[in-house]
Chain A
Amino acid sequence: MSDLAYLFHGFAVAITPFNLGLMLLGIVLGVIIGVLPGLGAANGIAILLPLTFTMPPTSAIIMLSCIYWGALFGGAIASILFNIPGEPWSVATTFEGFPLAQQGRAGEALTTSFTSSFVGALVAVVMITFLAPLIARFALKFGPPEYFSVYLLTFCSFVGMGKGSPAKILASMMLGFALSAVGIDIVTGGLRLTFGFTSLLKGFDFLIAVIGLFGIGEILLSMEEGLTFKGASARINPKVVLETWRKLPRYWLTFIRSTIIGCWMGITPGGATPASFMSYGAAKKFSKDGDKFGTGVVEGLVAPETAAHAAGTSALLPMITLGIPGSPTAAVLLGGLLIWGLQPGPLLFAEKPEFVWGLIASMYLGNVVGLIVVLSLVPAFAAILRIPFSIIAPVIVVICAIGAYTVNNSMHDIWFMLGFGVVGYLFKKLNYPLAPMVLALVLGNNAEDSFRQAMLMSGGSLAILWSNWLVGSISTLAMIMLFWPLIAQGLRKLVPSKPDKLSSEQPVD
């Protein structure tokens, strides 16, 4: 109960006009940072960190964490409107969000995505409030085998996604793995697959691939179909928010499942990006409309956004309680704590309660403020699609180029992005699915590292993936997800249901 008292004290701290102003400023900056691809939240916070030295630590963290919330919200905007994910965890948002926008339902897509983000984040904050110390210990159980099993689970919940040629799905995914292997091999410290080019030293960052494949590729396709963006007919409907809200409660199951996936991935700390993919994959597997995913299904937009925000928020939990950064952004915030003279870690709750609870209170308020800000801007964002193609197209190319450059501060990456654009155009026209390639690029490296670390631990034996209840149950769950279509079929045969019988009998008749 004393915790609750602290929390209310925290609200009192956060609600001073000065802090509220910082909150608003942080949200707006965050949304801008989130919209511009490449200028990630980690970057944004790192850049503004030195400016906060002269503020009291609580105000500083309020502003910086609000940048984080803003960026989480903002990442969805460019993904939905232009198929350019502003942040890594927004990639899965493009799968349904962009088709929706093309159908002239951009306002609905934006509202859905912001609302889902809010729900995910809110549940995660509530969890942090009441369960922080308890859950934090759980994160410590994650060693290399556990990490690998989480990545495996992400892959397994995602494979079998696309229809069409298995050879092409396989080629696309393996291409992603191959490209993710370029650069430094963390385990041996040596270079690999760089063929002596210094421009390949840093490997292929998947953001560059995604900006090219999706952003540039989409522009080329739009161009082929005439000088329009298909969403140009989007009408501006000020009531779109309320209308969308009326429909959302029917996806309650997706909300719950995605929140659980997100919170769990945030704590473990798999992070927001795997969480969004995993949640999207799970939604597709378990949804009645699973076949229609990829053509603009609202449920498929709810899933990744809810999970990404639940994960992004709970990633701050290990940071506060253990001093472990759960994400790059949290790592920068952690550095900030040190500079303000605070020591993150298990003792922070006891030593600086006013700071910790001020931060938690600001999470509640920041999210509410953020939601109000972005929702009120939905019509404005949707209106961007009405800008004529011949203005917006070159601007998108410029934004893509800036985004590709800022990832690594490297000019080569702009060329790579252009190359990926051509690949995206060709692949899309030849029905090679892009999603498996992107997923492999995102997780390939991490999955390989943790696998090889696990193998170093076990002396090359795969049994380590079932060596304790935690890793064993995640690995088993992964296998179930992988063979889910077969299992579902088997279940149907064992327990024949009425409609199934009918459909199988009809041809005979």
Chain B
Amino acid sequence: MNQQRKAFSSRALAVVAAGACAALAFSGTAAAWEPTKPVTIVVPAGTGGGADQMARFIQGVVSKHHLMKEPIIVVNESGGAGAQGFLDVKGSKGDPEKLIITLSNLFTTPLATGVPFSYKDFTPVAMLALDEFVLWVNADTPYKTAMEYVDAVKKEPGKFKMGGTGSKQEDQIVTAEIEQKTGAKFTYLPFKGGGAVAVQLVGGHVDSTVNNPIEAVAQWRAGKLRPLCVFDSQRMPYNAKVTSTMSWHDIPTCKEAGLPVEYLMLRGFFLPPGVSQDAVNFYIDLFKKVRETPDWKEFTEQAAFNQSFMTGAEFVKWLGNAETMHRELMEKAGFLATK
């Protein structure tokens, strides 16, 4: 009760202050917007996946460090490859207490299924990080470099099986990109989640995967998997040893290894359409605070994220490029919805 009253009085003060300032000039701090009810983060994917983990992590960090007065609620709306969640947020026009965290299905689902939404339907808030993709093989196979493996695949088209999450989504797009650049031909096997994919690789049911680091790291440390290269323009910056001999930084980029493919997955936040810039600024500020916590540092190092942070025009430009790239890649691979 007390706390609530305090919150109320400080809000009232802010209003008074805003009134006073407005008479003089437009002041940034005066217009400070704050959520007045619990903030919902919509996860357009199932429980336990990468986006879900990040959303729940942020929920925990925010409450642990008291970064916001209202609590965060995480809601999974994974139906239709995430379309359900995106359509829900798209329909919640002007609701500043509803965020959506994205994975690549922001681009891939509308292209592959024809469900009508795009990044332009939402108010972009911030890119929190980019998720890396690594080419993995079973540690018992003889392939030590990316080219050795790709050459083996080229010799017997269709015999090598690439496991991945979902169909016509990020994993298959990376696979298609490898095929387009090298002429190799994989048999792509879609599974439901990244964890299952890593296990299929350990069990020898598929020959390679392009798992995110966090999905495969446990098996790597146990010596079951071998990373060949990372699909990024530069090596991952984490120098701490993950296995007894290697750190994330020791994995070469695919470009270095002779495989000119790059792909990163967006971990970003969006608001529904028609939300004020004040609300956007509030969340940008919130995420900046989250990124400064020690918990975030530990989390990103575990997951080996690419720690790019973008907001505003820069972010919008990145989104535009990403969408064009997805459209081109998927068109070339024949993944677009037929309609």
Contact = CB atoms under 8 A, between A and B. Distances in A.
Interface of A: 42-43, 46-47, 49-51, 53-54, 139-144, 183-191, 198, 201-203, 322-325, 328, 331-332, 334-335, 338-339, 341, 343-347, 408-410, 449, 453, 456-457
A443 to B, nearest CB: 14
A186 B217 CA distance: 25
Contacts of A335: 48, 52-53, 56
B205 interface: yes
Contacts of B335: 189
Interface in B298-339: 298-299, 302-303, 335, 337
A331 B198 CA distance: 14
A50 B59 contact: yes
Given A187-B190, A191-B114, A324-B199, 13 more contacts: A42-B48, A50-B63, A186-B192, A191-B115, A198-B80, A201-B79, A334-B195, A335-B56, A343-B221, A345-B218, A345-B221, A409-B76, A456-B187
Given A50-B60, A140-B203, A189-B113, A344 B218 contact: yes
Contacts, number: 171
B167 A187 contact: yes
B80 A453 contact: no
Contact residues on B (Cβ < 8 Å of other chain), bracket: 35 or more
A208 B191 CA distance: 24
B232 interface: no
Contact of A189 (B112, B206, B303): B112
A332 B59 CA distance: 14
Contacts of B302: 338, 341, 343
B168 A339 contact: no
A189 B81 contact: yes
Given A46-B74, A189-B168, A201 B47 contact: no
A46 B56 contact: yes
Interface of B: 46-49, 52-53, 56-57, 59-61, 63-64, 74-81, 83-84, 87-88, 112-115, 161, 166-169, 172, 187-193, 195-196, 198-200, 202-206, 214, 217-219, 221-222, 224, 295, 298-299, 302-303, 335, 337
A49 B52 CA distance: 12
Given A143-B200, A453-B189, A334 B48 contact: yes
23 contacts: A42-B47, A43-B47, A50-B56, A50-B59, A53-B60, A53-B61, A140-B199, A140-B202, A187-B167, A188-B167, A189-B168, A189-B172, A190-B337, A203-B80, A324-B198, A344-B218, A345-B222, A346-B218, A346-B219, A346-B224, A409-B88, A456-B187, A456-B189
Nearest to A338: B302
A70 to B, nearest CB: 18
Given A189-B112, A335-B53, A46 B60 contact: no
Nearest to A185: B167
B290 to A, nearest CB: 13
A343 B169 contact: no
A143 B205 contact: yes
A403 to B, nearest CB: 16
A276 B302 CA distance: 37
B189 A191 contact: no
B261 to A, nearest CB: 20
A141 B196 CA distance: 13
B216 to A, nearest CB: 9
A282 B189 CA distance: 33
Contacts of B57: 339
B185 to A, nearest CB: 13
Nearest to B58: A50
Q: Which 6 pairs from chain A and chain B are nearest by CB? A: A202-B79, A345-B218, A331-B48, A201-B80, A143-B205, A189-B167
A480 to B, nearest CB: 26
Contacts of A410: 77, 79, 84
A183 B80 contact: yes
A453 B79 CA distance: 21
B79 A186 contact: no
A338 B295 CA distance: 11
Given A189-B113, A335-B48, A339-B56, A457 B79 contact: no
Contacts of B303: 338
Contacts of A325: 48, 193, 195
A54 B64 contact: yes
Nearest to B205: A143
Contacts of B191: 453
A198 B172 CA distance: 25
A409 B77 contact: yes
A449 B77 CA distance: 21
Contacts of A186: 166-167, 190, 192
Contacts of B113: 184, 189-191
B331 to A, nearest CB: 15
B80 A184 contact: yes
Residue of B79, B80, B161, B166 contacting most chain A CB atoms (<10 Å) = B79
A187 B48 CA distance: 21
Nearest to B60: A50
A430 to B, nearest CB: 31
A202 B298 CA distance: 35
A246 B168 CA distance: 57
Given A189-B190, A339-B56, A183 B79 contact: yes
B197 to A, nearest CB: 10
A346 B187 contact: no
A469 to B, nearest CB: 15
A202 B193 CA distance: 17
B80 A142 contact: no
B299 A347 contact: no
Contact of A191 (B80, B190, B199, B206): B80
Nearest to B74: A46
A53 B64 contact: yes
Nearest to A331: B48
A409 B87 CA distance: 13
